[in-house]
Chains A and B, each alone.
Chain A
């Protein structure tokens, strides 16, 4: 059986100069010296920070439309898709007879892994990942963000579809308008 490959040899014995270690020391000091005149790489964090790219995935938040309505219709899709099960929703009637809304919407930010599945799955474009990444907490309770706080973080996103206008306006020939009375069995 033949040996495959060629073993590496040890280096030849070094000369007197190399044995004093002075060339290596000087070489190291030269590298250090060179770095002193290079561009400074440190980002002075609390004073300056990154300009985050569009679509950065930070903490999730709920948004309202331009008519100050909570966009979320409590369909539970985000709760269903959330890998760490960080979202907890409880639905309620909001009295329009058309949609429901969230009574409770909690996101446990310590569970959240900012994957963006909730934003991706949301049929109403009601939940978005904000560029916020600096939040720290002192206990677990304060890191469960409730509906009010999430809405405050999310702010307003204009509604390009104008679903509510279509739902409440009289139909122009197509489907008849749905009854607006709450509690109608459908």
Chain B
């Protein structure tokens, strides 16, 4: 226990409805598996028992965008696929987050080609970039944990609360 008054939250439970909702959201992220290439294999490995993303509440992969709130773009987004990716993103209900998984989705990777979007952030807003070709499942879990942290911070910002101290963030 530290003397930093911002850390009071670590031992007193006070809550606002926004925090409560954010707590629920962050522990039940339902990913939309936008698996477009080999990264999708690692995405599947992340959901499988060895890494078991159910421990983070994100095991319910929804193949209907209307039921998902986290889009994991895993793979090369070709120009031909880009309108479909954008449309699926538009169909997802707010609030929604996007992880660009792997080199291709993050920046185009080694496909510096006319037929490939140079990063999926050219068509949809990306919150977290996960480098790798493909990234290990652990790296993607790090990405999901980063989305959870972002979600928490945004909920606090929305009600004008001070950001958490680094010690509290690290403990979470």
A residues near B, CB below 8 A?
A: 41-46, 49-50, 59, 83-85, 108-115, 133-140, 143
25 contacts between A and B (CB under 8 A): A41-B50, A42-B49, A42-B51, A42-B55, A45-B51, A46-B141, A46-B145, A59-B131, A110-B103, A110-B107, A111-B108, A112-B131, A133-B135, A133-B136, A133-B138, A133-B139, A134-B142, A136-B128, A136-B131, A136-B142, A137-B131, A139-B129, A140-B119, A140-B121, A143-B106
- Interface extent on B, as a size class? 20 to 34
Q: Closest residue of chain A to B106, judged by CB?
A: A110
Q: Closest residue of chain A to B110, judged by CB?
A: A84
* Interfacial chain B residues near A114, Cβ < 8 Å: 132-133
User: How many Å from the CB of B172 to the closest CB on chain A?
Assistant: 11
Do A111 and B103 have beta carbons less than 8 Å apart?
yes
> Of residues 137 to 163 in B, which have CB atoms within 8 Å of A's CB atoms?
138-139, 141-143, 145-146, 150
Q: Closest residue of chain B to A144, judged by CB?
A: B107
Judged by a CB distance under 8 angstroms, whether B130 is at the interface is yes
Q: Closest residue of chain A to B135, judged by CB?
A: A133
User: How many Å from the CB of B61 to the closest CB on chain A?
Assistant: 17
Q: How many inter-chain residue pairs (CB < 8 Å) link A and B?
A: 85
B residues near A, CB below 8 A?
A: 49-52, 55, 103, 106-110, 112, 119, 121, 127-133, 135-136, 138-139, 141-143, 145-146, 150
Distance of A33 Cα from B135 Cα, bound (Å): 34
Given contacts A83-B110, A143-B129, 15 further A-B contacts (CB under 8 A): A43-B50, A45-B51, A45-B55, A46-B141, A84-B112, A85-B112, A109-B131, A111-B109, A114-B133, A115-B133, A133-B138, A136-B142, A136-B146, A137-B129, A139-B129
Distance of A45 Cα from B143 Cα, bound (Å): 13
Distance of A109 Cα from B130 Cα, bound (Å): 9
* Interfacial chain B residues near A112, Cβ < 8 Å: 103, 131, 133
Distance of A137 Cα from B105 Cα, bound (Å): 13
* Interfacial chain B residues near A108, Cβ < 8 Å: 107
Distance of A111 Cα from B132 Cα, bound (Å): 8
Query: Given the interface contacts A84-B109, A110-B131, does A138 sit within 8 Å of B146 by beta carbon?
Result: yes
Do A44 and B55 have beta carbons less than 8 Å apart?
yes
Q: Closest residue of chain A to B121, judged by CB?
A: A140
Across the A-B interface, give the 8 residue pairs with the lowest CB-CB distance, nearest first: A113-B133, A84-B110, A110-B107, A110-B106, A137-B129, A42-B52, A109-B131, A136-B143
